[in-house]
Amino acid sequence: MSIGEPFVQLNKASVVYRTETGEGRPVWSDVSLAIHEKEWIAVVGPNGSGKSTLAGVLLGLSPISEGTVARYEGLDNGMKGVLQLPEAQFIGDTVEDELNWIPYAQTLPEEARAAWYREVLAAVGLEISPSRSLLTLSGGQKQLFNLAVALATKPKLLVCDEATAMLDPAARMDVLAAVREAYRQGTTIVWITHRLEEASEATRVIGFGEGRVTYDGDPHLFFYGEGEVSPCEALGFDLPFVVQTVRHLREQGVALTALPLSMDELAEAISCL
């Protein structure tokens, strides 16, 4: 891979779905974007704005109607998706069946596998028996397991579509920790989410709305903006708690030198006052 060559590149891409009556319904059009190694991209936008469609296009599961999509050849099997219906992605019957499909599992001697299963499951905070039938897992457990399987393949590019949608707050923290660790180890992340606070660690935010990309750039600028209305608010979202707090502080005449996005960053900025 030459330096700067993107993993995936969309050029003037559009997606049109056919309706029941045969008409074309555009989801988004004229989308040009490139996903580079070492990025952590949060994709946000209202319901129906086409975020899952983007996931499908990136993963090569959905066709585009116009424009081009190019994928870096060296990605090979190094691209993984964690999609909204986890069970649709399972191929095995049990936890261990599913994990045994991963090529690395096949290099492990039988005696080493149990420890590896535990490690893979623990990465997302799952404590389930390897012999458990996948059908008996709860919705949240299926979602966690699907992510665990994707992470265990150590993908170069991981595309997650609402991977925390069914999770309780503690499990959500576990998932974010696991994704943070994968990112630290070199996995490029595309993170589609409705929870804006999950965009706080991203290196870039892409906002979808009104059938197009409305924002593509720095997360701080997305949330704080430059004018009265930030790009986040322009998409119809309430600002996350941390950003609202900074705004209130500003209104009280307290100006922070940093623009925090997470609670930890907010605490640090306040401690510097």
Ligand X SMILES: Nc1ncnc2c1ncn2[C@@H]1O[C@H](COP(=O)(O)OP(=O)(O)OP(=O)(O)O)[C@@H](O)[C@H]1O
Binding site for ligand X (CB under 6 A): 17, 27, 45, 47-53
- Of 49 and 141, nearer to ligand X (C-beta) is 49
**How far, in Å, CA of 55 to CA of 77, rounded?**
16
Least Cα distance to 249 among 265, 227, 269 occurs for 269
For the bound state, the minimum distance from the C-beta of residue 47 to ligand X, rounded and expressed in Å, comes to 3
Nearer to ligand X, 48 or 139 (CB): 48
Instruction: Report the alpha-carbon distance of residue 238 to residue 196 in Å, rounded.
Output: 9
Across the beta sheet with 24-35, what order do the strands follow? 24-35, 8-18, 66-71
Nearer CB in complex with ligand X: 57/266: 57
* Residue (52 or 245) nearer to ligand X, CB: 52
H or E element in which residue 251 lies = helix 241-251
> How many whole angstroms separate alpha carbon 134 and alpha carbon 103?
20
Greatest alpha-carbon span in the chain: 64
Cβ atoms 13, 57 nearer than 8 A: yes
Is the CB of 43 or the CB of 179 nearer to ligand X?
43
Which CB, 17 or 241, lies closer to ligand X?
Answer: 17
* Least Å from the CB of residue 81 to ligand X: 13
Q: Of 92 and 211, which has the nearer Cβ to ligand X?
A: 211
Smallest gap, in angstroms, from Cβ of residue 161 to ligand X? 7
Question: How far, in Å, CA of 96 to CA of 109, rounded?
Answer: 14
Q: How far is the CB of 251 from ligand X (least distance, A)?
A: 32
**Minimum separation from the CB atom of position 177 to ligand X (A):** 24
Sequence-separated (6 or more) residues with CB below 8 Å from residue 10? 31, 32, 33, 34, 57, 64, 67, 68, 69
b/e burial code for range 232-264 (CB count within 10 A of at least 16 → b)? bebbebebbebbebbeebeeeeeebeebbbeee
- In this structure, the number of other CB atoms found within 10 A of the CB of residue 18 comes to 10
CB of 125 to ligand X, least distance (A): 24
Bridge partners for 9 per DSSP: 34, 70
To ligand X, the closest distance from the beta carbon of 143 in angstroms equals 14
